[in-house]
Each structure stands twice: as C-alpha cells, then as structure tokens.
Amino acid sequence: MNPPAEQTLLLGPRQSMVGVITSAPEPVRQADAPFVVILNAGIIHRIGPNRLHVLMARALATAGFDVLRVDLSGLGDSEPRPDSLSPLDAALADIREVLDTLQATRQVQRVVLMGLCSGADHSVIYAGTDPRVAGVVLLDPSIPRTPRYYVQHYANRLLQMRPWLNLATGRHPLWRMFRHRNCQPVEAQLEPAPGEPPLTLEHPEVRAFLQNAYGRAVAQGVRLLAVMTADRERQHNYRRQLFDAFPQVPFGAQLRLEYFRHCDHTFTTRTNQQRLMGLVLEWMKTGWGGSVDRA
C-alpha cells in the first residue's frame, strides 16, 4: 500500500490560510467517512506539539480518512485577518471559511473537528453552529472545576503532605530537629496559587457559555470524544468531570470520555501518542452510519 499523500493548499476567500491535506490511499479510502480537520493547539503551528498533528494525520489517512492540518489566521504560515474580530470570533470565522473551502473544492459534506487545548474549545464551540460537523475530538478541553474536583484535589495534597503533617504534629522522628522553628500551617500550604484572574472557568457566565456550546453540539447530534490528561490537574482531575460540570447537557452515548493518568498535556512520549492514536482510530471507525468500520 502506498503511504498517504500530502498536499499543501490555501484556504478561505482570501486564500490566506495554509493547510496540509493528508489523503487516504485509494485502497482504504471510504467515500462516506467524515473528513478530519485538526486545528491549532494554542499558538503552535499545524504540525502540533511534538509533531502530534502530523502523526495523527498520517495514522488516520492510513486507516482511510482524509485529514487537513490547518493554520488559522495569524498562526504558522497563515496571514492575519484584515478585520477586527475578537480572537474567539476570528477562530470561529476561520473554521467556517475552511469548511466552505473544503466543501467547494472537494465536496466535503461531513467533518470531524479535532483540537488540543484551545483547539478543543474552538471545536466544540463551533460544532453546534454548523450542521456539517458530525463529530469532535477534544484533547484537554476547558472544564470548570466541580465539588468532586476540589475533594480529590485537596485529598491528594493531604496525602502528599503526610510526612510534613507528621513533622507538624510531633510524630516524626526528626521533630526534635525542628522544635525551635515555626512550622507553616497546613492550610496555608494547601491554598491555591494567588493571582488567578477574576473571570475563571467557574464564573457563571463562562460556565453557562460552555454549557450552551456543549448543549448545542449534542442537540445537533454531534459525537464527542474527550480525552483528559493528568498533567492538567489544576483544571480537571477525574474522568467524569465533564459530565458533572454540565449536568444539564444530555450527553448520553454521544460522549465518550477517557482520562490518561500518566500523560503530559502535549502527549510527549511515544507510548502516549500511540495510545491516543489507537483510541482516536477506534472511535473514528464506528458510528457514522456507513461502512466505515474496518477493524
């Protein structure tokens, strides 16, 4: 079988955005499969952190899916937008222009949006506004903290502080070495980092905005795969946090959740990259209403 072919192209009405399409070899291409569009992770250009987007695109193409890795406006090789849209509105406008180009030039009718961090947020926020979006793959999306999050967060801190608690209460054999020193209270050691901005993920307006975005996507029938990593412990620390953060969204079977306990935010190790690619491929091969399952 020939390796996936790659082609650079310009997208949008101004042809100002640069992308690379990785095409599935003909023997495995499925005409009814959705087209995958991988968005920027923060300000990292289209190769992704640790070349994650390149590896993902080639793995998906080898399995029969055409993939676009794109630089949104002002990122990588793409030109800035000429208008004065906010960063979020600009990203959403860019995504629409990318999909319009794919539809006009390649007759793409269904897409799966994929993104890490801000790319995940852009994907789910956009998904409920465009019927062409059939699915989203969300890698470490923004999730408000929940009561269970705080219980686990402080429980973990207490476990980590147990030797120091022994020192503070006089049970540690080294206590006599510290008897003339003032110990910092445990409560102070467990305080959250200072300087957090007032508009956090827990702000009612932000929480409502994200809940509405997920709700629109679910109502439109979008399938969701969400993968959280333990490296983002300050934001999420258990698998079902997305369910608990947005209890009014009827996710049902449309959402699959996974939690990678021994993984950093950018999937640095080859082991975690392979685990992620295997998960995404498994999810992509089912549930599209056609003969896409090639397992």
> Three-state SS string across 178-221, please?
HCCCCCCCHHHHCCCCCCCCCCCCCCHHHHHHHHHHHHHHHHCC
What percentage of the chain has pLDDT greater than the value 70?
82
pLDDT band at 198 (very low <50, low <70, confident <90, very high): low
Whole-model pTM: value is: 0.84
So what's the pLDDT on residue 1?
63
The chain-wide mean pLDDT, for the chain, equals 85
Rounded CA-CA distance 135/150 in Å is 31
Report DSSP letters for 135-187, one per residue.
EEEEES------HHHHHHHHHHHHHHTHHHHHHHHT-STTGGGGTTSPPPPHH
Terminus-to-terminus CA distance in the chain, angstroms? Answer: 17
Task: Say if residue 82 is exposed, middle or buried (CB neighbours under 10 Å; 0-12, 13-18, 19+).
Answer: exposed
136, 106 Cβ separation under 8 angstroms: no
pLDDT band at 182 (very low <50, low <70, confident <90, very high): very low
So what's the pLDDT on residue 32?
83
Q: What is the pLDDT of residues 203-234, one digit of tens each?
A: 888 899 999 999 999 999 999 999 999 988 88
Q: What amino acid is encoded at 119 in this protein?
A: G
The single residue listed with the structure tokens 């390149």 is 54
pLDDT band at 153 (very low <50, low <70, confident <90, very high): confident
Rounded CA-CA distance 200/111 in Å is 31
Between the CA of residue 10 and those of 7, 65, 92, 195, what are the distances in Å?
A: 10, 20, 18, 41
So what's the pLDDT on residue 233?
87
So what's the pLDDT on residue 199?
66
* Higher pLDDT pick, 160 / 239: 239
Q: Count Cβ atoms below 10 Å from residue 268 Cβ, excluding itself.
A: 14
Domain residue spans of the chain: 5-145+204-284, 149-189
Strand partners, 69: 20, 38
Q: What is the pLDDT of residues 68-78, one digit of tens each?
A: 999 999 999 99
- CATH code linked to domain 5-145+204-284: 3.40.50.1820
Can you tell me whether residue 86 is helix, strand or coil?
Answer: coil
Closest residue by Cα to residue 154 from 182, 201, 109, 189: 189
So what's the pLDDT on residue 289?
56
94, 11 Cβ separation under 8 angstroms: no
pLDDT band at 159 (very low <50, low <70, confident <90, very high): low
Rounded CA-CA distance 162/169 in Å is 10
